[in-house]
Structure 1
Amino acid sequence: MVSRDRLRGSRVRSDKRLRRWILRKAGAAGVLVLLIIWSGAVVAAAAPLGTPVLRAPAGEYQELMVPSGMGPIEVQVQWAARGGGSALYVLDGLRAPRDHSQWVSDTDVLRHFAGDDITLVFPVGGHSSFYADWYRPSSTNGQATTYKWETFLTEELPAFLARYGVSRTDNAIVGASMGGGAALTLAAHHRDQFRFAGSFSGFVNPTFPMWNEAVRAAMWDEGRFNVDDMWGPAGDPAWTRHDPTVQAELLRGLPMYISAGNGVPGLPDVPYGAGNTVNAMGLEAMAMTAARIFGDRVASLGIAARVDIGNGTHTWPYWDRAIATARPMILDALGAG
């Protein structure tokens, strides 16, 4: 949740070079060609509902602009290696950048799933959103648009991707930190869409006494967001709805992987420096407590879930390790192994 943002790695994308070449050579005509080829909104609107649109070659990487009630949302995609329809949605943490997913820049997730017949879907943005539908825009930072991330991830984005041949029902969802609890919440309330859910260092019990104030402090620190505009004050039903531990019964029968560290730093923490590491230790201690509470809750209900607690802090290298561990489970749940 507080891990240091890194600059996105230099990825050579031939479509961007071709885009610039067309603009230079064809002027206004080139703009029209680009709209037809690259604008997901234009292409999707032109195609009959349910008709798959030609997409990038199997296994390739692409960036899409997806229309939504919040405005256009960038979505980074690595298409299934053999054209399969299964998809894995991968959610960012609290510091989600506006121009890329940190999963793409800060982990080897693309390489982990290279060759797998599953499309990786990385929504870009969601800074301090908990990937939820908010009551209203944040009143403390001048936010103009109400976050409606649940609507985007479960209605608008699946409908858009369906026109590219991606299934609306054969999906998995995972996330780190803020995205971890959100992944379980979205899966709980949208069982028709998700067949697997994973939380890596997620805060999966936000109604635990006083943890709502920890969420409040974190969101204020990360962008001056007001948690009351998201889920209301403590005790509002929205807090209960977005608490995977409370909603555990809705997850019955869903394959799940929950991981957290014990707050003990290791070699992966060295590049982050002492200050960030101390902060990451404290956050991971909270995530570990939440993971254990969740594990105890599902065990008491007889609900199966894999819960792993190991060494590590609240830092991207450990989440890279977690998604690599989860990979066989994800492929198995989606029948894409």
Structure 2
Amino acid sequence: MVRRLALATALAAAGVPVVVTAQAAPETVAARALAAAVPAPDGSRAVAAAANGPGRVIDLTVYSAAMDRPITVAVLPAADPEAPAGSLYLINGVDGGTDTADWREGSNWLTKTDAIDFFGGAQATIVMPIGGAGTFYTDWQADDPVTGRHRWRSFLTQELPPIIDSAFHGTGRDAVAGLSMASSAVFRMAQEAPHRFRMVGSFSGCVRTSDPAGQAMVASIVTARQGNPINMWGPPGHPAWAANDPYLQAEKLRGVQVYVSTGNGVPGPLDTLSGPGIAHNPVKLADQLLIGGVLDGITVVCTRMLRDRLAELDISATFDFRAAGTHSWGYWERDMHAFWERARALLTP
């Protein structure tokens, strides 16, 4: 491969026309991935794969035995899908990556950032689960009569990774990053499976979920999505709240690489009419400045608390406190880039 590339480069420099063999078509990659996917012992399995996404993105449908339903997972295969590659799991925020019937029209990592182009040449598999709006991506204690059965932690840490590994030549050396509501979830994933998720990135989030302020924040998000927080971790004060609080369980992060970033709510360089996603719409800008400003004004306080907690435990972590910025996709795209610079060596063989 290297010799062919060197020859092609030399010929091109000499003005000789070169025909480069294209990568396998997404449809072919999808079919191969589905055929190679190995079912999990609990019955979780890949049931469909289609090149329905933009670019090389594959819609992988995975049946979750824990939730007893199919889950869509958008996968951007590695640059060479037939070679070993670690996986970067990108977990979405409060709406689960889709605020419409089709995730390709919703707000998520692949539609609101440059992830598809940015990772286009990376020898890493990008994995974005769809769904989980208002669930905190955790295992609920009871089925919710309105929102259903949620066993997201089991799905994300036990069921999905082996299927991804078998379908896309995974190495078992993975990283996970999430924003806003998902910030606490990605820490729980790393605490649950540190042997797999060896690096975690949290952007604009509050990970302390069991103190009074944290419980109020969790309850407001869950109820806004018509769920009952008692079905998640029980009534306030139930031991499950503390057991699922990454701040209290921080000792389990020892040995995991940690990257945390946040704005502070002060208008920054992307909070303008020409900023990402604003399209010169003053209403959108006002929402970003007001709501987004308040939210990152809160998350900066949470992030300082986490910094102090990890320092107290002598757990190494990188914290990026932006000088300005709101709770918005333009800044999370930058966070994703910065996180990748640290995760690249871990994930690429």
Could you tell me the TM-score, scaled by structure 1's length? 0.79
CA deviation after TM superposition for structure 1 residue 234, in Å: 2.0
Residue number in structure 2 paired with 1:23? none
* CA deviations over 1:13-72 (Å, ceiling 9, x no partner): x768x9xxxxxxxxxxxxxxxxx9489499645xxx9xxxxx999x94211111113311
Determine whether 1:114 maps to 2:120: yes
Give 3-state SS (helix, strand or coil) of 2:248's partner.
coil
Residue number in structure 1 paired with 2:16? none
Specify whether residues 166 and 43 from structure 1 end up closer, same or farther in structure 2 by C-alpha distance, changes over 3 A only: closer
Determine whether 1:61 maps to 2:63: no
CA deviation after TM superposition for structure 1 residue 111, in Å: 2.0
Q: Superposition pairs for residues 1-337 of structure 1, below 5 Å?
A: 37=31, 40=34, 44=38, 60-69=56-65, 70=67, 71-82=69-80, 83-96=83-96, 97=98, 99-100=102-103, 102-139=108-145, 142-143=146-147, 145-167=148-170, 169-221=172-224, 223-270=225-272, 271=278, 272-310=284-322, 311-334=324-347, 336=348
CA contact (8 A) 2:77 2:125 kept: yes
* CA deviations over 1:113-167 (Å, ceiling 9, x no partner): 221111000001111111101112224xx23x31011111112111221321443
Percent identity reads: 34
Structure 1: tracts of 5 or more residues without a match: 1-13, 19-35, 50-54
RMSD (Å) for aligned C-alpha atoms: 2.7
Which is greater in Rg?
A: 2
How many residues are matched?
A: 292
CA contact (8 A) 1:266 1:312 kept: yes
CA contact (8 A) 1:201 1:284 kept: yes
Give 3-state SS (helix, strand or coil) of 1:269's partner.
coil
- C-alpha distance in 1, partners of 2:320/2:210? 22
Work out which structure has the larger RCO, using CA pairs closer than 8 Å and 6 or more positions apart in sequence: 1
Give 3-state SS (helix, strand or coil) of 2:167's partner.
coil
* CA deviations over 1:175-207 (Å, ceiling 9, x no partner): 011111110111012112111001001211112
- C-alpha distance in 2, partners of 1:110/1:299? 35
Residue number in structure 2 paired with 1:29? none
CA contact (8 A) 1:41 1:66 kept: no
- C-alpha distance in 1, partners of 2:303/2:130? 26
CA contact (8 A) 1:99 1:124 kept: no
- C-alpha distance in 2, partners of 1:168/1:138? 36
- C-alpha distance in 1, partners of 2:153/2:174? 15
- C-alpha distance in 1, partners of 2:158/2:248? 24
Could you tell me the TM-score, scaled by structure 2's length? 0.77
Structure 2: tracts of 5 or more residues without a match: 1-24, 44-48, 273-277, 279-283
- C-alpha distance in 2, partners of 1:258/1:43? 33
- C-alpha distance in 1, partners of 2:176/2:226? 28
CA deviation after TM superposition for structure 1 residue 265, in Å: 2.0
CA deviation after TM superposition for structure 1 residue 263, in Å: 0.7
